[in-house]
Amino acid sequence: MNYSLNLNNRAFQAIKAGTKTIENRVPTSHDKFRYSDLSPGDSIIFTSNESGEKIKVEVVAVRHYKDFRLLLQSEGTEKTLSSGKPINEAVESFNEFSEYRKNIPKYGVYAIEIKL
């Protein structure tokens, strides 16, 4: 299957450079598909919200976690974050999004491992 997702430019550039190999997603009302439907071998076309540039990646694996802290502790910040923040600061940043804060207890968070 082929999917499309928008990304902020910093995350887009980190994926393009190969330094961010895991995209983190919390189900929200804006999603066009369920992250649990992703399978290894699927393709995702990421579009930069800033430039409109696109890159195509392949899904390697999809893992589900109860919350961001568990995801970051298990997957590591080097592969999952484009900000370079330590775990505590990254968790606080994710919780700043009200829909994330509301939906994480219900749906958890997905670690989508990808390769260019």
> What CATH number is given to the structural domain containing 17?
2.30.130.30
Domain around 18: 2-115
Please name every residue paired with 112 in a beta bridge, in sequence order, or none if there are none. Answer: 23, 62
Does residue 84 surpass a pLDDT of 90?
no
Q: What is the average pLDDT score of the chain?
A: 93
pTM of the model: 0.92
Does residue 108 surpass a pLDDT of 90?
yes
Placement of tokens 């980190």 in the chain: 14
Please state the φ and ψ torsions of residue 75, each to the nearest 5 degrees: -90, -25
Question: Could you give the number of structural domains in the chain?
Answer: 1
Q: Side-chain half-sphere of 62: how many Cα atoms within 13 Å?
A: 18
pLDDT at 18: 94
